[in-house]
């Protein structure tokens, strides 16, 4: 039965590449009915379901796939899981899945196939989850203070969710194609990001002491992406960079970005102290705020 399943999976992959996600999902489902012990079919179906915005179903597929992988090394499943969890507004779980995916591509088990872009992609996603988690905690903190901004932001969140659910339902009922659904969702996200930014701006102007956004200190920021670091590595010259971005640079030019001295990936060492400081920025900062009141 396994070879029939593989044939169906290949057909599913072709449909996926052509953007026919509903067909792909259906073919993977048929493949699973023939043979249900192959974790790859589950990760592929999860990916199709992510495109179809079927978040819960995607979560189940990822968990099944991870369950079937004896070695535990299944970075794709963890990455898809993180995406679905974030979409479901569970940034805490999403971060933990994203970090697992990241760790697994950073030091892959022997004979694991990873794509050269994975580290960069996963690294960026870890950061996205951290920000989402931080935003939720910040709002929670404000809400407990009976803050008007938090209440308004939650109202916006709810309105956004209603609109997004509407898109998902239209997609399910096939009143909308994938491309349109994706465009509409992106537009909804952009609109609400804009509204939230405006709202925050108003509150910041009205009451700077309580609503000023916290700035990330320079020493925690990667000099290449200008984003906060989460896995900093240090060069021979003593400068620290985010691992994924300095790897990307060294692939093209094996030199220290600041001094131009020769530099390779093997010369890099993790900077544990700085990593602790980065973690503290995300963790400690929020709890300090909660302690404030």
Applying CB under 8 A, the residues found at the interface with other proteins are 117, 120-121, 124, 223-227, 245, 248-249, 252-253, 255, 257-258, 260
Closer to other proteins by CB, 113 or 252: give it: 252
Torsion of CA 194, 199, 204, 210, to 10 degrees: -120
Task: Report how far residue 275's alpha carbon sits from residue 103's, in angstroms, rounded to the nearest whole number.
Answer: 14
Closer to other proteins by CB, 28 or 118: give it: 118
Q: How far is the CB of 249 from other proteins (least distance, A)?
A: 5
Q: How far is the CB of 227 from other proteins (least distance, A)?
A: 6
Q: 10 Å Cβ neighbour count for 131?
A: 15
Closer to other proteins by CB, 151 or 261: give it: 261
Cα angle for residues 138, 53, 178 (degrees, 5° grid): 130
Report phi then psi at 116, rounded to 5: -60, -20
DSSP 12-51: HHHHHHTT-HHHHHHHHHHHHHH----HHHHHHHHHHHHH
Q: How far is the CB of 286 from other proteins (least distance, A)?
A: 22
b/e burial code for range 260-290 (CB count within 10 A of at least 16 → b): eeebeeebbeebeebbebbeebbeeebeebe
Task: Report how far residue 118's alpha carbon sits from residue 111's, in angstroms, rounded to the nearest whole number.
Answer: 16
Q: How far is the CB of 244 from other proteins (least distance, A)?
A: 9
Closer to other proteins by CB, 203 or 247: give it: 247
Closer to other proteins by CB, 29 or 255: give it: 255
Q: How far is the CB of 44 from other proteins (least distance, A)?
A: 19
- Burial (CB < 10 A; 0-12, 13-18, 19+), residue 11, is middle
Q: How far is the CB of 165 from other proteins (least distance, A)?
A: 26
Closer to other proteins by CB, 165 or 183: give it: 183
């Amino acid at each position: 039965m396994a070879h029939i399943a593989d044939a169906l999976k290949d057909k599913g992959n072709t449909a996926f590449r052509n953007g026919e996600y509903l067909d792909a999902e259906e073919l993977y489902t048929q493949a699973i009915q023939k043979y249900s012990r192959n974790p790859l079919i589950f990760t592929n179906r999860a990916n199709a379901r992510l495109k179809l915005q079927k978040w819960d179903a995607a979560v189940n597929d990822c968990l099944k796939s991870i369950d079937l992988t004896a070695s535990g090394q299944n970075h794709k499943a963890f990455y898809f899981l993180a995406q679905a969890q974030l979409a479901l507004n569970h940034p805490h779980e999403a971060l933990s899945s994203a970090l697992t995916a990241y760790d697994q591509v950073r030091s892959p088990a022997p004979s694991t196939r990873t794509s050269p872009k994975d580290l960069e992609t996963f690294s960026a996603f870890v950061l996205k989850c951290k920000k989402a988690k931080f935003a939720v905690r910040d709002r929670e903190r404000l809400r407990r203070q009976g803050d008007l901004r938090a209440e308004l932001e939650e109202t916006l969140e709810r309105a956004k969710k209603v609109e997004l659910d509407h898109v998902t339902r239209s997609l399910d009922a096939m009143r909308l194609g994938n491309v349109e659904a994706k465009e509409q969702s992106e537009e909804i996200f952009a609109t609400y990001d804009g509204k939230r930014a405006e709202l925050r701006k108003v509150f910041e102007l009205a009451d700077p002491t309580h609503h000023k956004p916290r700035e990330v200190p320079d020493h925690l920021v990667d000099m290449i992406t200008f984003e906060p670091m989460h896995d900093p590595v240090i060069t021979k010259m003593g400068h620290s960079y985010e691992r994924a971005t300095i790897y990307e640079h060294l692939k093209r030019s094996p030199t220290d970005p600041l001094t131009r001295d020769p530099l390779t990936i093997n010369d890099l060492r993790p900077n544990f102290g700085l990593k602790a400081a980065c973690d503290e920025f995300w963790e400690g900062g929020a709890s300090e705020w909660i302690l404030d009141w």
